[in-house]
Amino acid sequence: MRGEVLKLPSRKTLKNYFGTTGGGTGFSKLVETRLLAETWNLEKPQQEVCSLIVDEMRIKKKLQYNKQRDCLLY
């Protein structure tokens, strides 16, 4: 019953869809495009107010942060 209420994609499907990041900061182009598309449909300035919720992330071992380039290096 629990799995029948809301069927979510598998972990493998999500990994294939999103892939891995290149270690840079900021939003991916996919997210940026989606956010811009959503704002075009807003009728009132008050609708532009939102909350950004960021979940935790896992960083692979042996990565180094490059301060000059603001990215993670493999």
pLDDT tens, the chain, 74 aa long: 555 666 777 878 777 766 666 656 677 788 888 888 888 888 887 777 777 777 666 666 777 888 888 887 77
CA gap 72, 21 in Å, rounded: 10
- Predicted pLDDT of residue 63: 76
| Segments forming the whole domain that contains residue 63 | 2-73
Three-class SS of residue 37? helix
- Predicted pLDDT of residue 58: 66
Number of structural domains (the chain) is: 1
Let me know: does 42 contact 48? Beta carbons within 8 Å: yes
Overall pTM surpassing 0.75 (yes/no) = no
Q: How many CB atoms lie within 10 A of CB 42?
A: 10
Who's near 69: CB < 8 A, 6+ residues apart?
none
